[in-house]
Amino acid sequence: MKRLFPTLVGIASVAILVAGCSTAPATSTAPHSGGTLVYATGDAEPTCLDPHVGGNYPQALVATQYLESLVSKDAKGAIIPWLATKWKESTDGLSWDFTLRNNVKFTDGTTFDANAVVANIAHLQDPTTGSSTGYLALAKVSKVTAVDAHTARITLSSPDSALLDSLSQPWLDMESPKALKRSQDVNCESPVGTGPFIVKRWDRQQSITLVRNDNYNSPPADAAHTGPAYLKSIDWRFLPDSASRYAALQAGTVDVIDNAQPDAIVSAEKTKSLKHVDAPRPGASDRIELNSSIAPFNDKRVREAFIRSASVNAGIKTLFFGTAKRSYSALSSVEALGYSEPALFGYDQKQAAALLDEAGWTQTNAEGYRVKDGKVLELNFPVSTNQSIPAEQSLFEQLQASAKQAGFKVDLHPLDLASWYGALGKNDYNLVSAPYTKVGPDVLRILFDSDGTVPAPSGYFANHSQVKDPALDELLVKASESSSPTERAALYKNAQKIVLAGYYILPLYDQQNHYLLGSKVNGFRALPSVSTPELYDTWLSH
């Protein structure tokens, strides 16, 4: 008897296991309601859940679940209706009329109408809100008025071909005007929108609990269904460590993870039960920027020599295992107006050597570095450990080694974000890599217009290559004011040609944004605007 009992338990548990396996997993394709999805994010925990305040990607990720924009984008990049059903630009391009949905309520019961649009844009433009992303995007907006209850008119100081792109971003989402009147601290804890979910609880460093909005009726035009979301609730957890995040997905502790690293993606693709969604972020490609304002990169030949000596493709292949595709463009591959020119970026040590000779870096010291007038060809490269994933940091080390063959001494300095911005503010860098997410090609104006070389009072500036080219500035201004799509496309193409041919940047790949899904997750997609997860159409199989 003593021996028999454990044996029985053993047999029983095997039987249960077998039964569990033979019950086929729900194969029905009809979505069904209910359940809690556990989402584990590797991005930083937002300090405020209202993306008007500040305005960064971690806020956009979660805000997509409870806030909505006036317009959205479809998978092909076309602007589509969301809270606004249609819009009309005046002939002079200085005023836009947006017709709004007339049956939508915020989750606190407030009606969504033209006055709500007025209140939201006023909130974004109010300095006490502390908006940065939204504030910049609305730079040309001089006035917003309610023409009638369901028509909002936006008046501009100069035409803005990027207005619709800007309004599709989560940082300009619509919030309840009544809720916005509360103190900022309260609004940061529990922003109120029109979205498919509602912020119920926020346990700092742990999770945000989101529950279904049962009265939801305003999905974007490209959603797969109408009515309330399928999921009853979302447990939005903060899991900063990438290895434990992937382990949690494998163990079934969580259902979806973001910021999946190359090794996890490769492993997941080999695992039948896991799915991979590759959703590059819009705006700029990930690239290394060459500071053209100081020596040695104030000489175009030296810039080209560095780019020719950087063995990028081999590094990407070995470090990203095929999860990242090489880019030859200043823009993300999701940008329809992106322009590529691979021939400019071929790896060629001979050409690099010839260019350096031509530029006067003819001597070589004992360590193999090029020297000119007693100065070593040294490049200072501050690396943000918050923004560059480990694979990217390793890629920079490989580029350091391949550039050494040409005689460049690259000094990599891994820094935390605040110190990294400090280094940029002092202009003592030659190379730098910074992501920039924004919808539409207008990001080129932010990154390459000479205005972008002037630091803001915070010390921040976005034109890290420090391109100061009046011809380029003119093209970018013209493009941002053009109302003709063909003219706009041609202007942006010419602008990108100047940037690429000037060897101001070394494009690497799209800004990586990978989601991994557990076996129960169906109907997941990334919203095409800024590639944040859209869980409205998502459902869990049993």
Partner 1 sequence: MVEPLIEAAMPAARTSGRWLPWLVARVGGIVFVLWAVATVTFFAIRLIPGDPAEAILGGPGSQASAEALAHARTEYGLDKPLVVQYLVYIARLARGDLGQSYSLHKSVIDVIVENIGGTLLLALLSLALGSLIATTLSAWSMHSGRLAAGVGSVLEIVAAAVPHFWLAISLILVFSTTLGWLPPVSVPGAVGYVLPVVTLGVPLAGFLGQVMRDSMLDAMASPFVLAARARGESESGLFWRHVLRHAAIPAIGIAGWAFGSLISGAVIVETIFARAGLGRTLLSAVQLRDVPLVVGVVLVVALGYIVMTTLTDLADRLVDPRHRRGHA
Chain residues in the site for partner 1 (CB under 8 A): 40, 44-48, 53-56, 59, 127-133, 135-136, 184-185, 188, 203-206, 237-241, 243-245, 247-248, 250-251, 253-254, 386, 416-423, 425, 456-460, 462
Rounded distance, CA 372 to CA 394, Å? 29
CA distance linking residue 411 with residue 172, whole number of Å: 39
11 vs 456 by CB, closer to partner 1:
456
Minimal distance, residue 133 CB to partner 1, in Å: 7
Angle subtended at Cα 58 by Cα 56 and Cα 59, rounded to the nearest 5 degrees: 70
SS3 239: coil
Least CB distance from residue 196 to partner 1, whole Å?
25
Minimal distance, residue 240 CB to partner 1, in Å: 5
Minimum Å gap between C-beta 54 and partner 1 is 2
Closest CB to partner 1 among 44 and 223? Answer: 44
Kindly list the distances between the CA atom of residue 53 and the CA atoms of 280, 295, 379, in Å, as whole numbers in the listed order.
24, 38, 36
Alpha carbon 400 to its chain's center: 27
> Between residues 274 and 316, which has the closer beta carbon with respect to partner 1?
274
Q: Structure tokens of 355?
A: 């260019």
Are 80 and 72 in contact by the 8 Å Cβ rule? The answer is yes
Least distance in angstroms from the C-beta of 465 to partner 1: 17
Q: Which tokens in the block code for residue 337?
A: 């107006």
Q: How far is the CB of 192 from partner 1 (least distance, A)?
A: 18
| Nearer of residues 148 and 241 to partner 1, judged by Cβ | 241
Geometric angle at alpha carbon 219, from 538 and 29, rounded to 5°: 30
Q: Considering beta carbons, is residue 59 or 512 the nearer one to partner 1? A: 59
Q: Which is nearer to partner 1, 253 or 293 (CB)?
A: 253
Question: How distant is the alpha carbon of residue 407 from its chain centre?
Answer: 35
Task: Give the list of residues 6+ apart from residue 459 with CB closer than 8 angstroms, or none.
Answer: 421, 422, 424, 425
Q: How far is the CB of 310 from partner 1 (least distance, A)?
A: 25
Which C-beta is closer to partner 1: that of 243 or that of 294?
A: 243
Nearest to 478 by CA among 93, 154, 79, 164: 93
Residues 171, 471: Cα–Cα separation, whole Å: 31
Tell me whether residue 52 or residue 488 sits nearer to partner 1 (CB atom). Answer: 52
- Beta strands 36-41 and 71-73 are unpaired
- Considering the complex, state which of residue 20 and residue 374 has its C-beta at the smaller distance from partner 1: 20
How far is it, in rounded angstroms, from Cα 210 to Cα 107? Answer: 13
3-state secondary structure 123-190: HHHCHHHCECHHHHHCCCEEEEEEEECCEEEEEECCCCCCHHHHHCCHHHCECCHHHHCCCHHHHHHC
State the nearest-atom distance from the C-beta of 538 to partner 1, in Å.
21
The distance of closest approach from Cβ of residue 70 to partner 1 in the complex, given in angstroms and rounded to an integer, is 22
